[in-house]
């Protein structure tokens, strides 16, 4: 990798993270323990939820949430087409069916009208993905859930912190799952959290995340604990470690500073790309406060002599890392073939997919790096304009 390569993402690391991790390593308590508990409590107060449970990933969190609502073989769960495979694969764990529906053109979020069209008597849940930390149309989704008696498990992998009409993401649906994967707005390498106000969901997730044994089992190695435990279900091992919690505690303290840094980068990109003429910029509605996890742009491919993939290659040759969020689910062989999906049913996703590029946005990216990204992109579109 070239020295001046601008990565798509780089986590913000300061002495806070390093000192907290060193402290944990020296303490000898490396797996789930007091720091995980502290992180859960601080996270829970930050979100304003009743319960927050830390686990090994978003995927683990959402698997547990679906298990806790009693998802069964043959049930259906509605998910958006533009998301990471994890959103749908967890439904498959239950031999239930992920019903993949199209998104809205402006937000790339699940379209409530598409949800409504796909509700059947087997629909048990919807998993709205707040794309790039842009909250979905939750009022519409809540209305449909009430009328049709299904649960809402929010995919907030990108949405820490974000607000919908003044309400924190994590306090709206039946359960909300967050990701602390290294590229996310709060990074612990790997990790996830389930936030819920529902005591039954919280209690079931708490048991199932640790082998189906009682929730304080980790305490059995402390002076407060006892060697005795009982297994009440065949659970999973989805432990969050105190080493991860150390990173989480340090990052949580500066979460809002990191969010405003992302907002500044978003605004800088917008002003430096505003006159490009061959790009469509992503916009937020006034009633949301996004996390600014992604910076997506749509290329005017009709006005260009090269494809989106070639633009990505050109940027790469200039030492600029980018990504595509996401390859729509129905384009992956597994989903397409298993559920016999037809591209024609996804006109909005098919418009977005060949045009989209996500640019580097992370606290710590310098003004000169932002200049290089925007000058690079502007020069490519100038050079390959039809
Ligand atoms: C929208 C979305 N949902 C879920 C996930 C899965 O998160 P994790 O890697 O923590 O399981 C990701 C990860 O990239 C994601 O982007």
State residue 181 phi and psi, 5-degree precision.
Answer: -55, 155
Atom in ligand 1 nearest the alpha carbon of residue 181: 10
- Is 184 catalytic? The answer is yes
Reported pTM: 0.97
Q: How many residues does the chain have?
A: 386
Residue from 35, 151, 163, 184 carrying the catalytic annotation: 184
Give the pLDDT of the chain (386 residues) as one tens digit per residue.
Answer: 456 999 999 999 999 999 999 999 999 999 999 999 999 999 999 999 999 999 999 999 999 999 999 999 999 999 999 999 999 999 999 999 999 999 999 999 999 999 999 999 999 999 999 999 999 999 999 999 999 999 999 999 999 999 999 999 999 999 999 999 999 999 999 999 999 999 999 999 999 999 999 766 667 777 777 888 899 999 999 999 999 999 999 999 999 999 999 999 999 999 999 999 999 999 999 999 999 999 999 999 999 999 999 999 999 999 999 999 999 999 999 999 999 999 999 999 999 999 999 999 999 999 999 999 999 999 999 999 99
Provide residues with CB under 6 Å of ligand 1. Answer: 57-59, 83-84, 86-87, 129, 155, 157-158, 179, 181, 192
Atom in ligand 1 nearest the alpha carbon of residue 192: 10
* Spacing, Cα 247 to ligand 1 middle (Å): 18
- Cα–Cα distance measured from residue 186 to residue 180, given in angstroms and rounded to the nearest whole number: 6
- Cα–Cα distance measured from residue 150 to residue 139, given in angstroms and rounded to the nearest whole number: 14
Order of all β-strands in the sheet with 175-179: 51-55, 192-196, 175-179, 151-156, 123-126, 76-80, 97-101
- If you ran DSSP here, which 8-state letter would residue 195 be given? E
DSSP for 124-193?
EEE--B-GGG----HHHHHHHHHHHT-EEEEEETT-SS-EETTEETTSSSSEEEEE-BTTSSS--BS-EE
List of domains in the chain = 15-253 (3.40.640.10), 256-383 (3.90.1150.10)
CB 377 within 8 A of CB 315: yes
């Amino acid at each position: 990798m070239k020295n001046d390569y601008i990565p798509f993402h780089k986590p913000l690391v300061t002495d806070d993270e390093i000192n907290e991790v060193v402290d944990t390593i020296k303490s000898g308590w490396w797996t789930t323990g007091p720091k995980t508990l502290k992180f859960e409590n601080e996270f829970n107060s930050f979100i304003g939820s009743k319960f927050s449970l830390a686990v090994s990933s978003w995927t683990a969190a959402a698997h547990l949430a679906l298990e806790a609502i009693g998802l069964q073989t043959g049930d259906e769960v509605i998910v958006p087409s533009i998301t990471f495979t994890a959103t749908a694969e967890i439904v498959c764990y239950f031999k239930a069916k992920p019903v993949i529906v199209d998104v809205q053109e402006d937000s790339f979020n699940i379209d409530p009208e598409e949800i409504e069209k796909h509700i059947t008597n087997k629909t048990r849940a919807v998993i709205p993905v707040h794309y790039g930390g842009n909250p979905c149309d939750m009022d519409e989704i809540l209305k449909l859930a009430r009328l049709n008696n299904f649960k809402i498990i929010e995919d907030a992998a990108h949405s820490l912190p974000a607000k919908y009409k003044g309400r924190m993401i994590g306090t709206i649906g039946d359960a909300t799952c967050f990701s602390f994967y290294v590229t996310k707005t709060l990074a612990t390498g790997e990790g996830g959290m389930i936030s819920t106000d529902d005591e039954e969901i919280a209690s079931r997730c708490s048991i199932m995340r640790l082998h189906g044994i009682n929730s304080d089992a980790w305490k059995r190695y402390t002076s407060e604990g006892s060697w005795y435990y009982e297994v009440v279900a065949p659970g999973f091992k989805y432990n969050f470690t105190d080493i991860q919690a150390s990173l989480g505690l340090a990052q949580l303290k500066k979460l809002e500073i990191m969010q405003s840094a992302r907002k500044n980068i978003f605004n800088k990109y917008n002003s430096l790309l505003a006159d490009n003429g061959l790009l469509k910029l992503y916009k937020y509605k006034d009633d949301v406060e996004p996390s600014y996890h992604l910076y997506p742009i749509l290329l005017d491919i009709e006005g260009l002599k090269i494809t989106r993939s070639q633009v990505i290659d050109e940027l790469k040759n200039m030492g600029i890392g980018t990504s595509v969020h996401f390859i729509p689910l129905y384009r992956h062989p597994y989903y397409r073939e298993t559920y016999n999906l037809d591209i024609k049913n996804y006109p909005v996703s098919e418009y977005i997919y060949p045009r989209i590029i996500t640019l580097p946005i992370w606290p710590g990216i310098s003004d000169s790096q932002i200049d290089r990204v925007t000058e690079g992109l502007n020069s490519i579109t100038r050079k390959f304009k039809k």
